[in-house]
Structure 1
Amino acid sequence: MRRQYVPNMPTLCETRWSHKYKSIRIFHKNIPTIYEALENLSKEGNTSTRKSAFQLQSAMQRPVFLVCATIIGKYSNILEPVANILQSKSLDLLNCTDHVNTISSLIKEHRENVDDTAKGIMFEVNEIADQLNITIAAPRTSKTQTHRTNTPANSTDEYFKRSIIIPYLDSLIMSLGLRFSETNLPAYSILQLHPYHMLQISSQQMKSRVQTISAFYEIEGLEYEIELWRKLWVDKGLTYDVLKDIDLIDCYKECSAYFPSVKTCLAISLAQPCTTSSVERSFSTLRRVKTWLRATMATERLSGLCLLSIHRKMAHDRKEELQMKVLEKFAEDKRRIVLL
């Protein structure tokens, strides 16, 4: 039925942030269409459908809902490309970090000029409200308020600016600051050991960043190895286009016994995930494992089956060893079923 009334509207995915941003963006774009579809569903269909549609339509009529949907949709458009890049296979984390810093600076400018920002958001909210025949008004105030705060404001726009827009911008700035803070710089700086990035900066800049990496991860001798590591790639005489196509794992394989510290740094960079996308994608494993035959299994056993499904190649290589361990484990437990 959702496909019939709103064919372009995807469902909200709770496990993948990139899909969540996309869902919010498309939802905000199609608010009038969704509202009209809910209005039609509230008048036709069975009792349960009419009831649910009427409740959702009533929620969309609230000014707070329209303001929240507009501001979240606005900044979801900005953050969606970053989420897609962070979950891509070929990821340039350094450039992505620079882009996030640019986004953070832009949001800080919106916060400093919050009057102009709020004016643009409220103008868009009023346009949507006019299409839905809804009046945007601030909620009433009383002397004693128990369920929400009495935000002082002289107008409707000022009320929503103080109660929703400013707190949202502050929260967004703080979240970006925590995820891309100065304490994460050593992890990003390890990527400078890749020859493509290393040869684009001076030797002095490279030494400064290597000192940060060495102090954070307590890796000895990295300052002395980096000069030889840089010399190795300079002597190869490869172009930047060729260097750009070299994977980090290829750099790791290039490290011989003469570069133990560089090899340790590259191993750290290869081991640390940039996002939780790998974990998020593992949820799809349940579709192969969580059948009706496995529905009564405990969580521990289900997690083990999921790990076997994800790492099935590794399990296949050690099949005989795993089979013997399973038989030994099965033999240790007493049989609960009594055979007559």
Structure 2
Amino acid sequence: MANACSKAKDFFGVIQRIYTIFAKSTKRWGILKDNVHGLTLKSLFSTRWESRVESVQAIRFQMVEIREALLQVANVDGDSLVRSEAKSLATNELSDFEFLVAIVIWFPILYRINFFSKYLQSKDMLIDVAFEKIEELISFFEEYRESGFNDALDSAKEIAIKMDIDPFFPKRREIRREKQFDENSNASLEVSLPAEDSFRVNYCLFIVDQVVVSLKSRFEQFQEYEKIFGFLFNSDRLNSLDDMNLKSSCSRLENALKHNGHSDINRDELYVELKLRRELYGHEKIGPIEILKDLKLFDCYPNAVIAYKILLTIHVTVASAERSFSKLKLLKSYLRSTMSQERLNGLAMISIKNDFLDKVDYEELIDEFASKNARRTSIFK
């Protein structure tokens, strides 16, 4: 979405330029701190998407203060190139009504995406909850497509009035193309939209459509999971099925888990187990984790236990794997270039599973290790 069109790329380029001009000098950063007392400017990172909402948020709510800081840099800095860059940012980009509308549009979009991204990365996230949240996110953008631009336009006009900027889209010069001799006169006619409508259609609606398409295509696998495991998501879903639908759901799950003619479960046995257990639940609403714990108390539901174990081990996101790679990058530094694979695996396990390590009694481990070494020394003697 951020790379969907040239205007979006230019927008984030301006965001990064504003940060860079202050970050490259402690003196200029001091001017920024004197004028801006709230949110700090952030740099953009290609692998850390939270930085985008943080960088946009800092400028979105401190536009007046940041422009004043840029004007001070343009007046007092000793480098002519820096003065020219600061003046251009203050008088052109931050004083452009299109930029004001763009930053008002981008902030709620990035904020909502970042919020749902963090929510989906929680350790106890389940597929059914993730599927519902993604549908909520898609419906939010579909509603934003209808009324979001008008709301952003009203907010941008309020900011423009505070900054003494004309709240109108600048009229661009039309480029007329010369018609060829063999070209049909009607074919060369192009619809010329007003500046505001052109910005709404070619920028706002375009990036919103991009994110909706991306969400639907990226998480279409969840729809397949919902078709296969949907009847196991909670006790309500299980109780809502009649015998025929329950039997067909068990058959569909068996076919999905089949490999080389063998399946981990038997559909007929799973049907009998779930039907028996469904009668015991009644109208009580419980999730898959509670259902699995309840099934494991007895030894007469082997197929149901396997089905729920497979359901609960399906990853919602790849956040845990990405965090593991991030830990390895921190551990395998240039100072540890000769580290063996066994030591690297041990340090990575300690770092990744740090919450479990906090519960370990170190004194007991040290005493056990010392006693083993003492016995080994006595044997060699």
Q: Output the TM-score relative to the length of structure 1.
A: 0.66
Matching residue of 1:126 = 157
Residues 200, 174 of structure 1: CA spacing in aligned structure 2 closer, same or farther, 3 A cutoff?
Answer: same
Where do 1:142-157 residues align within 5 Å? Answer: 142-143=175-176, 152-157=191-196
Give me the whole-angstrom Cα distance separating, in 2, the residues matched to 1:28 and 1:203. 54
Find the counterpart in structure 1 of residue 127 from structure 2: 93
Residue 28 (structure 1) aligned with residue 60 (structure 2):
yes
Which of 70, 76, 93 aligns to 2:104? It is 70
- Equivalent AA in structure 2 for residue 232 of structure 1: R
Q: Residue 222 in 1 paired to residue 229 in 2?
A: no
Q: Distance in 2 between matches of 1:95 and 1:29?
A: 33
CA shift for structure 1 position 53: 4.5
Per-residue Cα deviation, 1:216-236 (whole angstroms, up to 9, x for no partner): 443452364044035336547
State the partner residue of 2:324.
282
1:313/1:71 CA distance change after superposition, 3 Å? closer
Is 1:186 the counterpart of 2:224 in the alignment? yes
Change (3 A) 1:257 1:17: farther
CA deviation after TM superposition for structure 1 residue 173, in Å: 1.6
Which of 213, 219, 229 is the aligned partner of 1:174?
A: 213
Residue 259 (structure 1) aligned with residue 302 (structure 2): yes
- Determine the structure 2 residue equivalent to 1:310: 348
Kindly tell me: are residues 293 and 160 of structure 1, through their superposed partners in 2, closer, same or farther at Cα, counting changes over 3 Å? same
Q: Which structure: larger Rg?
A: 2
**1:86 to partner: Cα distance:** 0.3
Q: Separation in 2 of the partners of 1:278 and 1:268?
A: 18
Q: How far, CA to CA, are the matches of 1:304 and 1:144 in structure 2?
A: 67
Residue correspondences, number? 301
Say if 2:331 and 2:348, in contact at 8 Å, map to a contact too.
no
- Aligned amino acid, residue 347 of structure 2: S
CA deviation string 1:242-272 (max 9, x = no partner): x459468747956858524x45444443443
**Amino acid corresponding to residue 139 of structure 1 in structure 2:** R
Against the structure 1 CA distance between its residues 195 and 126, is the aligned structure 2 distance closer, same or farther, given a 3 Å change threshold?
closer
The 5 A counterparts of 1:41-80 are 41-44=73-76, 47=79, 53-54=86-87, 56-57=89-90, 58-80=92-114
Q: Percent identity?
A: 18
Residue in 1 that maps onto 2:24: none
Q: Does 1:231 align with 2:276?
A: yes
> Does the 8 Å CA contact 2:247/2:267 hold for their aligned counterparts?
no
Question: Residue deviations 1:35-61, cap 9 Å, x none?
Answer: 333333444456486566456545444
Residue pair 1:186, 1:216 contacting (<8 A) in 2 also: no
Contact 2:232/2:238 (<8 A) preserved: no
The alpha-carbon deviation at position 9 of structure 1 amounts to 3.5
Q: Matched residues in 2 for 1:46 and 1:234: separation?
A: 81
Cα RMSD between the aligned structures?
4.4
Alpha-carbon spacing, 1:237–1:154, altered in 2? closer, same or farther (3 Å): closer
Counterpart in the other structure of 1:108? 142
Quote the offset at 1:73 in angstroms: 1.4
